[in-house]
Chains A and B, each alone.
Chain A
């Protein structure tokens, strides 16, 4: 009798222990790790944005980007010549665009796209995912986690994200972006891992959208390096002078 009870308790304990890992996954910690692996907290980088139309015509933009902490990011357009000198600044939920021929920064929204294509300002000036989203659910699927993310505020560009994260490298392979209505707005694909500052990070992000059939946009990264600049670089007054601190 005693042995039967002991065996029963042991079997119950084994069952519970094998079940625990599914509940002990901390989605927030995984998301923070994803952010750390995608880019350093404060860094500079060069990026090429390519917009491809259904006809095959493409437009390329070269950007220099500085990011600091959770909520500061600035980008400067280096080419083509028609866009050179244009700059965008993001401070938390605030975003501005500076066009040299206008001569002053104007407020814009994250839903706009300053260069057209499938990427919008929220994609190009992206803050860390854990800053803007909470993890609602996490599924463990063989070699990947699947995270369901919900925007923390109504000012975030996408209401929900569905993120596939490779377990081994803890980087996303795909992110689906949804509106509050459940409409799929776009899908991001993270590819071509390269070593940046000793960590293998995706160097290419591709996107397409069911709302823009046949259109594709690609964002390629180069020279991703840790760099800390003063907070004052991320102000309206400095927006026209980013070129002077570019390295």
Chain B
């Protein structure tokens, strides 16, 4: 029999000294809820989201001039986003499948726009506790940083204007070998991935009609997460990475990433707007801290050096080229 005492303060004014009625849990109803969940081998769910947004444009900025030089805009414009996200899964013994779709309908000064993407769709097989094989479209989030991930060699780069973009996976085939131990080394995982690049498969990854290989070796050693990763192939230049994460105290965590990209192509412009091509090894580093206060507020602090980015002089050339005509 269900018996719940609602706080009386919701209905009647109360003296401060009156004791608040306690909430009681109906264990039989809870058991029924669990019995329903325990038998399903499939799941389907999702959400619908409506997000109105007001955006401000800095009409004096170089980016505004470059983007809207022939289509001037007001300094403030509204945007309406309607998003439908669906996901489902099926499992039977050691085989399972998963999918996630995303449909975005947007209305702003550019009119109506609709975009439907298959974020993820892959099959997974776990023949035993040490092996996992997966194939399909899935995200592979490498790295320990929060704002930047120089070692995220496979996934799409983060886009501050569209954070959802990074949720779309790449088409890969992966194999994971997992081992657990007692002692200072608690876990070891080897992940290998094959990344094909063709016209309709990972088209934005790099040079098409190529097959690429990536690998990551993970250790949990002396309560520290350590990863070593490598990507090689002909769609992108070979690159190596390392990251780590460790709790220094119960409320302070430190993390970092280090990546070396061989023969990275870079295009910059000079002050006259002429493109300048260069190729060199690029080294990027990230170091960060995460701190939790007693009031449960979390602070992040990260320093990132992008070795493949533009130097001060190159950025100055860009702004010099864009700004004078205006």
Q: Bound pair: A and B?
A: yes
Contact B141 A91 (CB under 8 A): no
Question: Could you say which of B184-192, B199-207, B265-273 contacts chain A?
Answer: B184-192
Question: Could you say which of A2-10, A13-21, A214-222 contacts chain B?
Answer: A214-222
Q: Given known contacts A62-B37, A112-B296, A216-B23, is B250 in contact with A231 (CB within 8 Å)?
A: no
Q: In the complex, which residues of chain A have a beta carbon less than 8 angstroms from the beta carbon of B30?
A: 48, 220, 222
- Residue A184, interface by CB 8 Å: no
Q: In the complex, which residues of chain A have a beta carbon less than 8 angstroms from the beta carbon of B191?
A: 237
CA distance A212 to B126 in the complex (A): 44
Question: Could you say which of A96-104, A135-143, A169-177 contacts chain B?
Answer: A96-104
Contact B45 A107 (CB under 8 A): no
Interface residue from B27, B89, B94, B144 paired with A203 (Cβ < 8 Å): B27
Contact A94 B223 (CB under 8 A): yes
Q: Given known contacts A55-B10, A112-B296, A247-B38, is B247 in contact with A107 (CB within 8 Å)?
A: yes
- Residue B264, interface by CB 8 Å: no
- Residue B31, interface by CB 8 Å: yes
Q: Given known contacts A81-B47, A203-B27, is B180 in contact with A109 (CB within 8 Å)?
A: no
Contact B180 A235 (CB under 8 A): yes
Contact A94 B247 (CB under 8 A): yes
Q: In the complex, which residues of chain B have a beta carbon less than 8 angstroms from the beta carbon of A238?
A: 132, 178
CA distance A235 to B296 in the complex (A): 26
Q: Given known contacts A81-B47, A104-B141, A236-B189, is B25 in contact with A46 (CB within 8 Å)?
A: no
Contact A194 B27 (CB under 8 A): yes
**C-beta contact mask, B167-189 vs A, less than 8 Å → 1, else 0?**
10000000010111000001101
Interface residue from A192, A218, A222 paired with B34 (Cβ < 8 Å): A222
Q: Given known contacts A46-B34, A232-B129, A234-B180, is B186 in contact with A91 (CB within 8 Å)?
A: yes
Interface residue from B91, B94, B225, B296 paired with A107 (Cβ < 8 Å): B225
Q: Given known contacts A62-B33, A234-B180, is B126 in contact with A244 (CB within 8 Å)?
A: yes
Q: In the complex, which residues of chain A have a beta carbon less than 8 angstroms from the beta carbon of B22?
A: 206, 216
- Residue A233, interface by CB 8 Å: yes
Q: Given known contacts A48-B25, A220-B27, A222-B27, is B141 in contact with A102 (CB within 8 Å)?
A: yes
- Residue A230, interface by CB 8 Å: yes
Q: In the complex, which residues of chain A have a beta carbon less than 8 angstroms from the beta carbon of B245?
A: 107
- Residue B251, interface by CB 8 Å: yes
CA distance A103 to B152 in the complex (A): 12
Contact B23 A241 (CB under 8 A): no
Contact B141 A243 (CB under 8 A): no
Contact A231 B180 (CB under 8 A): yes
Q: How many residues of B contact A (CB 8 A)?
A: 59
- Residue B316, interface by CB 8 Å: no
CA distance A247 to B41 in the complex (A): 10
Q: In the complex, which residues of chain B have a beta carbon less than 8 angstroms from the beta carbon of A187?
A: none
Q: How many residues of A contact B (CB 8 A)?
A: 56
Chain B residue with Cβ nearest A206:
B22
Interface residue from B25, B91, B146, B292 paired with A111 (Cβ < 8 Å): B292
Contact B38 A241 (CB under 8 A): no
Contact B91 A218 (CB under 8 A): no
CA distance A168 to B9 in the complex (A): 39
Contact A81 B45 (CB under 8 A): yes
Q: How far does the Cβ of A103 sit from chain B's closest Cβ, in whole Å?
A: 4
Q: How far does the Cβ of B136 sit from chain A's closest Cβ, in whole Å?
A: 14
CA distance A231 to B38 in the complex (A): 23
Contact B223 A218 (CB under 8 A): no
- Residue A32, interface by CB 8 Å: no
Q: In the complex, which residues of chain B have a beta carbon less than 8 angstroms from the beta carbon of A52?
A: 23
Contact B180 A192 (CB under 8 A): no
Contact B7 A111 (CB under 8 A): no
**C-beta contact mask, B101-131 vs A, less than 8 Å → 1, else 0?**
0000000000000000000000010100110
Contact A56 B9 (CB under 8 A): yes
The 3 closest A-B pairs by CB, nearest first: A230-B129, A231-B180, A104-B141
- Additional A-B contact list (7), CB under 8 Å, known A55-B7, A113-B296, A232-B179: A101-B167, A103-B141, A155-B247, A222-B30, A223-B34, A237-B178, A247-B38
Which residues of B are in contact with A by a Cβ distance under 8 Å?
A: 6-7, 9-10, 20, 22-23, 25, 27, 30-31, 33-34, 37-38, 43, 45, 47, 89, 91, 94, 96, 124, 126, 129-130, 132, 139, 141-144, 146, 166-167, 176, 178-180, 186-187, 189, 191, 218, 220, 223, 225, 245-247, 249-251, 253, 255, 290, 292, 296, 298
